[in-house]
Amino acid sequence: MTVKNICCLGAGYVGGPTCCIIAQQCPEIKVTVVDKSADRIAAWNSEDLPIYEPGLMEVVSQCRGRNLVFSTDIEAAIRSADLIFICVNTPTKTFGMGQGKAADLKFVELAARMIAETAEEGSGLKIVVEKSTVPVRAAESIGNILRHNIKPGVSYQILSNPEFLAEGSAVEDLLSPDRVLIGGEETDAGRSAISALADVYLNWVPKDRIITMNTWSSELSKLAANAFLAQRISSINSMSAVCEATGADVSEVAEAIGRDTRIGPKFLKASVGFGGSCFQKDILNLVYISECLNLPEVAEYWSQVVSFNTFQRSRFSRRIIECLFNTVTDKKICILGFAFKKNTGDTRESAAIYISRHLMEEGANLSIYDPKVSKGQVRIDLEDSENPERFDKLVSCHLDPYTAASEAHAVVICTEWDEFLTLDYKRMYESMRKPAFLFDGRKMLDHEQLGKIGFHVETIGRRLNRRNIERTWN
Ligand code: NAI
């Protein structure tokens, strides 16, 4: 089978960019991206895309209206598709069984039901591809729903094709992925569906980077990859705490261990903690699965990676308060960066949210600057629904970093935006209250230089001041 018509359910951070690249690389395939959110689709059809990704607008301009369509007509898109990507959100459950850990599969289930109801009699084989990150054996549930609602002359093959793109470098990651994973049934029909999807990727991905395997391995590999990546961050962050207490420098330790080819240098940057919509959610999902499989030791092992991340964030915000003479009440604190990482406007699980909330609880006034995060988003993330006026009282958002820092007692770097490297910190220092503090949660600035300007600098994984130096070991 040759895929000619692709439909993607979910026009978010995964569905949108993935389908843009497929449309760009496969001009003979018609790609329709649909979403139940009319606002999101309207934004994809505008010059102001709903997500910020470097290079994405260029790809959209090239393909939109040619073989790439963004639409709210979900049924029409499903009917005409021979391959359907499910790219809907799979957030952590907030209620009921598995609350706070298990992935909420209601959107995936709804998508499967919609496909079953909409597919027309006699429309033949439809390949349904699970791209959302799901628990192991979720494909079985999708298959069950589809097969129990099957219409005459329709058949389904379910594939697992998890997405490994990272926000902020999605275009690059999609254009040259380390690997593309396709899991499917170990039958002739399964193998033929795998090969139809592989043919789509073969338009631009070298054959040796396309890995095929059984469905359950593919589903688990995505959870495992995120767990391993997050584990590395928690591991280096745990070393950062030891460095701060001893006088070692975590960047030097990272370089030393990263030179070991068995360890490698990537993902060894200590910071205020990992964020984003995936790492925590996927590890908690893995923890829940392990508990359900009666593997409490496995669950405990992975849950430490998340617990440590929570500790790292609160350790940093406690340090801010301690340094500011143990009180931040009514003090202006400038937060530079609100997105969970640079080159994205996504704030889901951003460390900045946790730090801001902690400081707000202590009565601090926050002035926030992020080049890609709107005030509306900051409000969603920080407003307390039971006390909404508190947000307006304590938080202001700024369009430039200098007004945000003016009159502030401290500047806190939460996101590693490149533009923060070249700010005029002398100008900033002069407009601030003294002593002026700078907390570099990304370990990205020239601390010596900042010290010369007059800042009291604190950072992650390196002791710059005499505070907390003397430690007793016995
Ligand atoms: P998102 O929340 O940005 O987008 C999901 C979209 O699906 C939303 O726009 C929502 O309105 C839409 N949707 C939900 N149900 C629908 C339905 N029945 N029909 C049509 N549209 C529907 O989520 P995001 O970040 O794109 O993630 C999607 C999946 O991909 C998740 O499972 C996530 O874990 C996974 N993933 C995310 C990555 C990321 O960096 N954001 C990377 C790799 C995987």
Q: Give CA–CA dist 446/425, Å, rounded.
A: 10
For residues 445-452, give the mean pLDDT.
Answer: 97
**H-run or E-run covering 213:** strand 210-214
Q: Distance between CA atoms of 125 and 141, rounded to whole angstroms? A: 19
Query: pLDDT tens for residues 342-383?
Result: 999 999 999 999 999 999 999 999 999 999 999 999 999 999
Residue 471 has pLDDT above 60, yes or no: no
The DSSP 8-state label assigned to residue 12 in this structure reads S
Digit-coded pLDDT (tens) for 196-223: 999 999 999 999 999 999 999 999 999 9
In 3D space, the residue among 338, 315, 278 whose CA is nearest the CA of residue 459 turns out to be: 315
- Pick the range with the lowest mean pLDDT from 17-26, 81-90, 203-212, 462-471: 462-471
Residue 28 Cα to ligand 1 middle (Å): 26
Is the pLDDT score of 474 beyond 70? no
Q: Whose CA is nearest to atom 34 of ligand 1?
A: 133
Q: What is the mean pLDDT of the chain?
A: 96
pLDDT of residue 467: 53
| pLDDT given at position 473 | 46
Specify whether 278 is catalytic.
yes
More confident residue, 303 or 469: 303
d(CA 190, ligand 1 centre) in Å = 25
Ligand 1: which residue has its CA nearest to atom 4? 12
Q: Which atom of ligand 1 is nearest to the CA of 90?
A: 32
89 Cα to the center of ligand 1, angstroms: 3
Which distant-in-sequence residues (6+ apart) come within 8 Å of 24 by Cβ? 59, 62, 63, 68
pLDDT of res. 466? 59
Task: Give the Å distance between the CA of 403 and the centre of ligand 1.
Answer: 35
From 9, 13, 40, 350, mutation site for ligand 1 pocket: most ligand atoms within 8 A of C-beta: 13
Confidence grade of residue 468 (pLDDT, cut at 50, 70, 90): very low
> What's the sign of the alpha-carbon dihedral 184, 188, 194, 197?
negative
Backbone phi and psi for residue 387, each to the nearest 5 degrees, phi listed first: -145, 65
SS3 464: coil
pLDDT at 317 over 80: yes
Q: What is the distance between the alpha carbons of residues 20 and 33, in angstroms, rounded to a whole number?
A: 9
Between CA 232 and CA 125 the distance in angstroms is: 42
State the catalytic residue, choosing from 278, 323, 334, 414.
Answer: 278
pLDDT at 229: 98
Give the CA-trace dihedral at 44, 47, 49, 50, to 10 degrees: -80
Residues near ligand 1 (Cβ within 6 A): 9-15, 34-37, 40, 74, 87-90, 107, 110-111, 114, 132-133, 163, 165, 167, 277-278
195 C-alpha to ligand 1 centroid (Å): 25
CA atoms 228, 233, 235, 236: torsion sign: positive
What is the C-alpha to C-alpha distance for residues 300 and 101, in angstroms, rounded to an integer?
13
Burial of 132 (0-12, 13-18, 19+ CB in 10 A): buried
Tell how far the Cα of 379 is from the centroid of ligand 1, in angstroms: 22
* β-pair type (180-184, 332-336): unpaired
Which of 106, 160, 277, 349 should be mutated for ligand 1, with most atoms under 8 A from CB?
A: 277
Average pLDDT of the residues in 131-153: 95
Distance between CA atoms of 290 and 283, rounded to whole angstroms? 10
The pLDDT tens digits for 170-181 are 999 999 999 999
- Report the pLDDT value the prediction gives residue 464, as an integer from 0 to 100: 86
- Distance from C-alpha of 40 to C-alpha of 12, rounded to nearest angstrom: 8
Separation of alpha carbons 292 and 299, rounded Å: 9
* Secondary structure in 3-state letters for 323-342: HCCCCCCCCEEEEECCCCCC
Percent of the chain with pLDDT over 70: 98
Q: Band the pLDDT of 449: cuts 50, 70, 90.
A: very high
Residue of 14, 33, 164, 341 to mutate, ligand 1, most atoms within 8 A of C-beta: 14
